Structures are given as C-alpha cells and as structure tokens.
Chains A and B, each alone.
Chain A
Amino acid sequence: MRDFLIKLSKIERRYIYLALFLALTLPLIFPPNFPQKMSPTVKSVFEFIDTLPPGSHVLLSADYDASVLPEVDPMYRAVLKHCILRGVIPIGMTLYPQGAVLALDAFKEAEEYLGARRDTDYVFLGYQAGFQAVILGIGENIKNVFPKDYFGTPIDSIPAMRGVNNYKDIALVISFSGSSVPVTWVIYAYSKYHQKVAAAVTAVSAADFYPYIQTGQFVGMLAGMKGAAEYEYAVRKIMKDEGIEKLPPAKAVKGMDANSIGHLLIMLFIIIGNLGYFAAKRRK
C-alpha cells in the first residue's frame, strides 16, 4: 500500500494533464447538471424578483461588452427569463455602446423560448451615452433620457411602459458589468433616489463589491460563472415546473460543472500527493 501511494505521488505530469482534460471536457459533452444551491447573495436577488407582484418593472442594464460575455451574458439571460416567467416587466437598457447588441440577443431568446412579446412583456430601450447623466436622468423622468425605445417606438406609446416615469415606478435596477459601473448606479440611483440596486459581475471584480452588500447598498449580487450557474439552474427549474419542454442551452451550468469537477480533481491530486509524501517520510 505504502509503495503504491509513493508511486502514485510520483505520477507523471502527462497523466495529470490527461485526467484534467477529461474532467473538463466530459462534463461539457455529457452535462451532469449538478444541482446548484444558491449562495446567499444570489438568493437575495432571486427572491426579490420572485416575490414581486406581476406587472412590476425591473431595469436590466447591460453594462458590459464582449470581453466578459462568457460570465455576464448567461446572468443577463437568466434574470431576464426569470422576470418574464413571473410576469415582471424587464426594461432592457445599456450604458455601453456594445451592450445593446448583446442584450438584444437575450431578449430574442426570451421571445423564442418563452413567447415574450416586445412592448407588452418587455421593453428594450437600448443605449444612451453619459453614465451619470443617464442614471440621474431616469431618476427624474425616463422619457427625457429615452424618448424612444431601441426600435424607434415613442415611449409613450409602449403599453408596458404605462405608468413608468422614474425610479419610483421601478422595483429594482440590476447592473450587469465587468467593471465598476454598478458602483456608479449605487452613487447616483441608490444614494440620491433610494433606488434598490443589485449587481451581476465577473468573478475577478466581485471582491470589490462585497462591501456594498454588507452596507446594504446592493440588494444582492451574482458573481462570476458560479453566480450565473446558480441563477440559471433556478430559472430552468421554474421553466420545467411550468411544463415548458423546449429549454435554452444551459451555458453557465455546463461551464460550472466542468469548473467544479476540475477543481475537485485538483484537490484529489493534492491529497494523493500528500499521502505519498507521508508514506515516503515514514519509510525514511
């Protein structure tokens, strides 16, 4: 046994690489779909939207570009679908010029899988330049900032926007971002208008936002691939419960499964390495 452990601890690099390759690729080909338990910060956002009365409005700001797409885009898609499933009206907008095209694709997906209708079940306002001016402008009157939606329809003639004038009529703002834009929302929308704000950010930038959760300035936060997978999993569960047969691809869950198995394999290797190390030490 001791010899076996020592031998195992001196395993060649190529076998480790092979094992890791399999651990990362197999879950992508044959997704195990591990159940995802929500972390507290994700749960706060999920429950907030889940308990909103139908007809409420949630502003989803796609403040990201293609560089952070793999992490942030699944979050946008999942939250958007959650809103539509619960009868909450998502208002899509972006402070990034590239964000409009990316977010629009998410709305198209919601149309395809949930039969969401533009201007009735959702609104897409598109891009408006000027970070703080836009955030402050919505606080007074959203129509001043976005007189027309992305498709050129005047806001006044959109049924889903009836009665929406400013933050008072918006239950929650979620900023999806790979940078510090969510903080700009806190500074101008939360501090000045007491608007409830949540963040959906990349894993790398998440550490910078934790203090805002502790102080209650963010309702909650979706962080990295893990946050995306947790939310996506919960939304897919609702879709299944509602009898929707055709489900969109579970990009985040799949990615997170591969990620988790990869990490666990590395941990297993570390344990094996240590057992071998101890066995060799005892022999000496």
Chain B
Amino acid sequence: MIWIYLIITLLGNAPPRVFDVPNDGGNALRVEWQLPPDSLGKVDSMLILRKTLPEGKVDTVAKAFTNHPEFVDEGVNYKKAYRYSILYFIGPVQIQSKWSSPAKPIASWIDTRKIPLFILMILYTTILLVYIFTARKGRELYLRPIAGLEAVDEAVGRATEMGRPIVYIPGLSTISDVATIAALNILAHITKKAGEYETKIIVPVRNPVVYTIAREVVKEAYYTIGRPDLFDPGQVYFATDSQFGYAAHVSALMAREKSATNFFMGMFWAESLILAETGASTGAIQVAGTDAVTQLPFFVVTCDYTLIGEELYAASAYLSKEPLLTASIKGQDQMKLLIMVAMILLSLLSVFGVNITLGLF
C-alpha cells in the first residue's frame, strides 16, 4: 500500500529546483529536490538527468542517495541553459519527475569570498609603498643586525684565505617558489663579494628553469663588478632533478672540493640534513636560510648561522643596504604588528564569546 502511495506522491512531486552557484566561473549549478517524508528507505536510488538547451540533449549526470537531496553539477557552461529532472528507482518501478524550469549559470566577475583578502592585500601594499616613498625622500631606516647576514663577509673571506671554493645551493624548489627567488637575490650579492676577492663559487642546481636564471645571475653579478672574465660556464650547472640524487651529488662535491664555505638558501625538504651534515663534517663554515619550517631545526644544529623564515626574504635588502629595499622590511614589520594586535584583540573577543572573524576568512 505504502509503495502505491509513494509512487503516486512521487508522480505528483514538484520538479527539482535549480540555483546558480555564486562566485564561480559559471561552471556549476546546484540542484535541489524534495522527497515525500515517507520515502526514506523506500527509494532505492536516483539518477539526476540534465537537459542542455537549446539542443535538448539529455545526459545522466550523477547517481544520488536518498538522504542527500542536493547535488552540485560542475559540468555546465555559462553560455548555455539547463533543465533537470530526477529519475527515481523503487524496486522494478522507475518514476521520472517533471523537468525543472531552465536555469543558466552565471559567470562572476568578482569572487566576493575573497574581498577580505583583497582589502588586506591593498592595505599591506599601501603600507609597503608608504615606507618605500619615505625612503625615496632620503630618510634612514634602522635594521636590527642579523647574525647570519653579518657573517657573509666572514664566510667569503674565509674561503679566500683558505684558497678553497664556496658552494652555493639555491634550494631544491622551482622558480614559482618565492624562497627560490630570494635565494637567487642573495646569490647575486655573494657572487659579487666573492668576485671582489676572486674566490670561486660553485652553484649546482636541481631545477632546469632555476639553472638558466642562476647562470644569468652569476654572469651579470660578475659583469656588475667589472669582472666578466671571472665567469666560468662550468661553475653554475644542472646536476640532476632527482631529490636524493642531487643530495648525493652535492655531498660528494663538498667532500671532494673541500669547500671552505657552504650556503644553503631557499626551499629544502628531507635532504636538508644530508646536505648540511656532510658540509659540517668537512669542516666548512655554513650559512643556511629557509622558510621550510620542518627543516629549520636541522639547519640550526648543523650550520654556523641560520636565517629563519622571513630573514631569508630580508637578506637581499640587508646585504645591499639599498634604502628602497630596507624600507619594505620596515613595512613588513608594521604589518606584523597589525596582525599581532588583531590576533590578541580577536582572541580576547572570542574569550567573551564574540566571534567576529566567522565567515570573513
């Protein structure tokens, strides 16, 4: 009896309702349908059917289970309209609902969920620009001493005194990683410094794109100090793109060349300790800098100096002492202060049950 009732109810059931999914590129529609209250456990399964307009082509888009009367169809195009229907299976019986009214997905020009992020980006950019313009006016800005960067001169000097080369590792990541770019910026400074003392710098690289850039950076750095003759095409080379193959190569290089100074700057993974511990065993002075939080402890214990996280990004400004670059670090500190204040305030508010961040980020 209940089956007959169910079949009759489903036959008269309203067609599914279709809504646009907001903040997308017009490639999704949300389909909702309602089931009679008694149908739970009686309907075996359902198929969601989609009719594309104006062609009228019908596709089966998904199988649904009865307790979840909602489906997001991500296979639509914003240039077309669609209608949906549900095909119910109750034992051997199939019942199809009426087709929904046509719905067209909307392609959004702005993702409203990202607005808070956009505001923060603008705020941070403004703070940085204000400091950069202040620096342009010639105001001097103080930077706290960073031991790892103060030691660069000493490290290069030591290699010169010992007559041994410097090994520079610009991380193992790709050029899309900002840490790699920071490492290449530092490479330019160190090459210039090493060039002034005519000390050899060897740069084995893991990533092909990073290799081509590192090569140019070293070449240009020698050119800048007026010593293009120092550039040796063999000093910057592509080693291998295998992570542990690279670790093995660099370890062997440090052991055989007996490098006086090793720099590990950029992004590192599990190979960090293999590299730094081998370097330490050769007695080289080692300076590391990375934003890979999990690898930092390994560098701290095996290297003489370690640039932690953001210090890696500050290094270029610090080494060049260029006012425009140092200004950006000041801006960065101001933003950090703002974040800290916001965190304390929001934490205090949440203690009192006020949660205003909800939904914003």
| A contact residues vs B (CB 8 Å cutoff) | 13, 132-133, 136-137, 139-141, 144-145, 165
Cβ-defined contact, A140 with B41, below 8 A? yes
Whether the Cβ atoms of B68 and A133 lie closer than 8 Å is yes
Query: Are B67 and A136 in contact, with the CB atoms below 8 A?
Result: yes
Give B256-281 as 1s and 0s: 1 = Cβ < 8 Å from A's Cβ atoms. Answer: 00000000000000000000000001
Question: B residues touching A (Cβ–Cβ < 8 Å)?
Answer: 40-41, 44-45, 64-68, 281
B281 touches A133 (CB 8 A): no
In Å, the complex CA distance between A133 and B67 comes to: 9
How far apart sit A133 and B40, CA to CA, in the bound complex (Å)?
16
Can you report 24 residue pairs joining A to B where beta carbons are below 8 Å apart?
Answer: A13-B281, A132-B68, A133-B64, A133-B65, A133-B68, A136-B65, A136-B67, A136-B68, A137-B65, A137-B67, A137-B68, A139-B67, A140-B40, A140-B41, A140-B65, A140-B66, A140-B67, A141-B41, A144-B44, A144-B45, A144-B65, A144-B66, A145-B65, A165-B41
List chain B residues, Cβ under 8 A from A136. Answer: 65, 67-68
Residues on the B chain within 8 Å of A144, using CB: 44-45, 65-66
Complex Cα–Cα for A133 and B45 (A): 12
Which A-chain residue is minimally distant from B65 (CB atoms)?
A137
Q: Which residues of B contact A133 (CB under 8 A)?
A: 64-65, 68
Nearest chain B CB to A245's CB is how many angstroms away?
42
What's the least CB distance linking A192 to chain B, in Å? 9
* Complexed CA–CA distance, A137 and B43 (Å): 12
A139 to B67, alpha carbons, bound, how many Å?
8
Nearest A residue (CB) for B294 = A204
User: Which secondary structure characterizes the binding site on chain A?
Assistant: helix
Which partner residue on chain B sits nearest A192 by CB separation?
B67
Q: Which residues of A contact B68 (CB under 8 A)?
A: 132-133, 136-137
CB closest chain-A residue, reference B42 = A141
Interface of B is mostly: loop
With A137-B65, A140-B66 given, can you name 4 additional A-B contacts, CB distance below 8 Å?
A13-B281, A140-B41, A144-B44, A145-B65
Contacts of A165 in B (CB 8 A): 41
Which 3 interchain pairs have the tightest Cβ spacing?
Answer: A137-B65, A140-B67, A136-B68
For A13, list chain B residues within 8 Å (CB).
281
Chain A residues with CB under 8 A of B281:
13
Q: How far is the CB of A69 from chain B (nearest CB, A)?
A: 18
Which chain A residue lies CB-closest to B44?
Answer: A144
Q: How far is the CA of A140 from the CA of B41 in the complex (A)?
A: 7
Say how far B94's CB is from chain A's closest CB, in angstroms: 16
In the assembled complex, the Cα of A13 lies from the Cα of B279 at a distance in Å of: 13
CB-defined contacts of B66 to chain A, threshold 8 Å: 140, 144
**Within the assembled complex, what's the spacing in Å between the Cα atoms of A139 and B65?**
10
The smallest beta-carbon distance between A94 and chain B, in angstroms, is 18
The distance in angstroms between the C-alpha atoms of A4 and B68, with both chains bound, is 73
Residues of A within 8 A of B45 (CB): 144
Chain A residue numbers with a CB within 8 Å of B67 are 136-137, 139-140
By a CB distance below 8 angstroms, the chain B residues around A132 are 68
Q: Within 8 Å CB of B41, what residues of A?
A: 140-141, 165
A258, B283: Cα distance in complex, Å: 31
Once bound together, how far apart are the Cα atoms of A139 and B281, in whole Å?
59
The winner among A13, A136, A139, A141 for most chain B CB atoms within 10 A is: A141
Give CA–CA (A245, B65) in the complex, Å: 46
Closest CB of chain B to A225's CB: distance in Å?
17
Most chain B beta carbons < 10 A, residue from A139, A140, A165: A140
Q: Which residues of B contact A145 (CB under 8 A)?
A: 65
Shortest B255–chain A CB gap in Å is 13
Q: With CB as the reference atom, state the residue of chain B lying closest to A193.
A: B67
With CB as the reference atom, state the residue of chain A lying closest to B68: A136
Please measure, in the bound complex, the distance between the C-alpha atom of A144 and the C-alpha atom of B45, giving whole angstroms. Answer: 7
Could you tell me the distance between the alpha carbons of A137 and B40 in the complex, rounded to whole angstroms? 11
Shortest beta-carbon distance from A142 to chain B in Å: 11
Closest chain-A Cβ to B39's Cβ sits at a distance in Å of 11
* B336 CB to nearest chain A CB (Å): 25
B300 to chain A, nearest CB (A): 16
In the complex, which residues of chain A have a beta carbon less than 8 angstroms from the beta carbon of B44? 144
- Minimal beta-carbon separation of B277 from chain A (angstroms): 9
Q: How far is the CA of A165 from the CA of B44 in the complex (A)?
A: 13
Q: How far is the CB of B278 from chain A (nearest CB, A)?
A: 10
A98–B40 CA distance with the chains assembled, in angstroms: 32
Q: Provide the residues of chain B in CB contact with A140, threshold 8 Å.
A: 40-41, 65-67
Alpha-carbon gap, A145 to B45, bound state (A): 9
> What is the distance, in angstroms, from B78's C-beta to the closest C-beta of chain A?
25
Complexed CA–CA distance, A139 and B44 (Å):
14
CA distance A248 to B67 in the complex (A): 42
| Measured CA separation A144–B44 after assembly (Å) | 6
Interface centre among B40, B64, B65 (most CB of A within 10 A): B65
Give every chain B residue within 8 A of A139 (Cβ-Cβ): 67
Residue in A132, A133, A144 whose Cβ sees the most chain B Cβ within 10 Å: A144
In whole Å, how far is B45's beta carbon from the nearest beta carbon of chain A?
6
A70, chain B: closest CB distance, angstroms: 16
Give bound CA distance, A92 to B40, whole Å.
25
Determine how close the nearest CB of chain B comes to the CB of A118; give it in whole angstroms.
Answer: 25
How far, in Å, is B41 (CB) from chain A's closest CB? 6
B64 — nearest CB in chain A belongs to which residue? Answer: A133
Q: How far is the CA of A165 from the CA of B281 in the complex (A)?
A: 64
